[in-house]
Amino acid sequence: QVQLQESGPGLVKPSQTLSLTCTLSGGSLSSGDYYWTWIRQHPGKALEFIGYIYYDGSPYYNPSLKSRLTLSVDRSKNHFSMKLSSVTAADTAVYYCARGDYGGPSNWLDPWGQGTLVTVSP
């Protein structure tokens, strides 16, 4: 059974870089053509798609974050990562990683990590 787990600092200072890692267990990042995805959820708000790393290593960045975002994958460690630079309080959110699956015309996210709260504060 595939499981995902986010890790990284829970507190980041404004203007610094937020770095998170998502570690996969029960499967391999090298198997299957999945979309290894990041999503965030501001407190009490809707979900926001951040971007994904496709199984072949090619990234997609949400244009709203593209100038500050870097996604990468380390197959030897079976994890993928995100870095968001120049953070502000508006980047305070719960960050989730998830596997993007697909079938026919749709991509859906399953499973998800448990999520990690990142607070941007001095």
Partner 1 sequence: DIQMTQSPSSLSASVGDRVTITCRASQSIRTSLNWYQQKPGKAPKVLIYVASSLQSGVPSRFSGSGSGTDFSFTISSLQPEDFATYFCQQSYATPWTFGQGTKVEVK
User: Could you list the residues that contact partner 1 (CB under 8 A)?
Assistant: 45-49, 51, 60, 62-64, 96, 98, 101-110, 112-115
Residue 79 Cβ, how far from partner 1 at the closest point, in Å?
Answer: 18
Is the Cβ of residue 105 or residue 122 nearer to partner 1 in the bound state? Answer: 105
CB of 76 to partner 1, least distance (A): 26
Q: Which is nearer to partner 1, 5 or 85 (CB)?
A: 5
100 and 108 Cβ atoms separated by less than 8 Å: yes
Nearer to partner 1, 16 or 93 (CB): 93
Distance CA 68, CA 45 (A): 22
CA dist 78 → 5, 23, 25, 38, 104 (Å):
11, 6, 8, 16, 27
| Separation CA 48–CA 30 (nearest Å) | 26
| Residue closer to partner 1, measured from CB, 56 or 110 | 110
d(CA 115, CA 22) in angstroms, rounded, equals 10
State the minimum distance, in angstroms, from the CB of residue 70 to partner 1: 17
